[in-house]
């Protein structure tokens, strides 16, 4: 070496042969449009300062890493003049998560109460971790996985991953169950030959919440019979019908005592002499035995 020779600083040539080492690069994609993507861990010879650009060539910063960016194409330049190097283009993607309810069970509100519910059984694809239920007016009414204790109406579930991804997972309707209706228009009552038992037929129950529980209740609030059509001793009773949701409906009190004095009486003779007494064969109480 001559007296005028000089020795340069040490330079590292990376995997691409241009002073850039990106074999350990870490690209984090954007979540659901939240501009939280990043490009990290790219080395440059001699730790030259990077100037980051987006795909439009607009300068974004001069940091070692590029942080808090939206989906798109990015690159950097380092050095200057003839020694300036330009990186490859790095792509940051936008990763969307869509939460959609699969199967549900809906329980109607019953008995005029706010006791309806929506039970989510599964999701199609992504499973959320944060839940927000709103009513038709947009009011938040629950933050539980399932909705309960609500009246009839329309409800929306907004699901989220607890970070940046959030969407409407489903809109559901809670119906109001019908209260059973007791129809007595075809009611008929008969008394046994000995006058000790009343039989009732023709009672009809309409509604969509069967099966029903039947209770005939006496004046002392004692249950005396548990079938729809009464079979009991003469007396005053009312019918209570309870549906599968526990909703109750009652009749007014019905007096079946008037039949007690109308038991069948069979005379042993007639005297058709025109005196108005036993002139014809008549059976008092026969109207209680149409068959």
The full set of domain ranges for the chain reads: 20-95, 99-174, 181-262
What's the pLDDT score for residue 258?
74
**How far from chain centre, in Å, is Cα 193?**
57
**pTM for the structure as a whole:** 0.65
What's the pLDDT score for residue 263?
47
What's the pLDDT score for residue 118?
99
Q: What is the CA radius of gyration of the chain?
A: 43
What's the pLDDT score for residue 15?
42
> Nearest 5°: phi and psi at 222?
-100, 135
| Bridge partners of residue 166, in order along the sequence | 160
Residues in Cβ contact with 97 at an 8 Å cutoff, skipping those fewer than 6 apart: 31, 32, 126, 161, 165
**Fold match flag (99-174 vs 181-262):** yes
Determine whether 264 is exposed, middle or buried from the number of CB atoms within 10 Å of its CB (0-12, 13-18, 19+): middle
Cβ atoms within 10 Å of 128's Cβ, excluding its own: 23
| CATH number among 2.60.40.10, 1.10.3210.10, 3.60.21.10, 3.40.1440.10, domain 181-262 | 2.60.40.10
Low-confidence ranges of the chain (pLDDT < 50): 11-16, 261-263, 283
Question: What is the CATH class of 99-174?
Answer: mainly beta
Closest CA to 12 of 91, 89, 78, 81: 78
What's the pLDDT score for residue 83?
87
What's the pLDDT score for residue 5?
61
Question: What is the CATH class of 20-95?
Answer: mainly beta
Q: Which residue has the tokens 């984090």?
A: 28
């Amino acid at each position: 070496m001559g007296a005028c020779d000089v020795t340069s600083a040490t330079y590292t040539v990376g995997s691409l042969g241009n002073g850039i080492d990106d074999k350990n690069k870490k690209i984090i994609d954007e979540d659901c449009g939240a501009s939280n993507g990043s490009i990290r861990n790219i080395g440059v010879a001699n730790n030259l300062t990077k100037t980051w650009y987006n795909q439009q060539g607009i300068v974004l910063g001069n940091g070692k890493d590029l942080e808090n960016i939206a989906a798109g194409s990015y690159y950097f330049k380092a050095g200057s003049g003839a020694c300036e190097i330009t990186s490859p283009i790095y792509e940051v993607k936008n990763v969307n998560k869509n939460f959609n309810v699969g199967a549900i069970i809906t329980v109607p509100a019953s008995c005029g109460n706010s006791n309806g519910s929506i039970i989510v059984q599964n999701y199609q694809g992504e499973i959320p971790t944060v839940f927000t239920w709103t009513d038709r007016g947009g009011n938040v009414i629950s933050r539980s996985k399932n909705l309960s204790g609500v009246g009839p109406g329309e409800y929306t579930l907004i699901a989220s991953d607890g970070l940046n991804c959030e969407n409407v997972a489903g809109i559901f309707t809670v119906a109001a169950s019908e209260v059973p209706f007791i129809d007595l228009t075809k009611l008929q009552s008969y008394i046994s030959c000995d006058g000790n038992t009343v039989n009732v037929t023709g009672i009809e129950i309409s509604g969509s919440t069967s099966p029903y529980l039947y209770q005939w209740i006496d004046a002392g609030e004692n249950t005396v019979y548990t079938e729809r059509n009464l079979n009991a001793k003469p007396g005053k009773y009312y019918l209570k019908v309870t549906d599968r949701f526990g909703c109750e409906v009652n009749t007014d009190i019905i007096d079946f005592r008037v039949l007690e004095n109308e038991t069948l009486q069979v005379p042993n003779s007639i005297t058709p002499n025109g005196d108005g007494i036993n002139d014809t064969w008549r059976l008092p109480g026969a109207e209680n035995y149409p068959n």
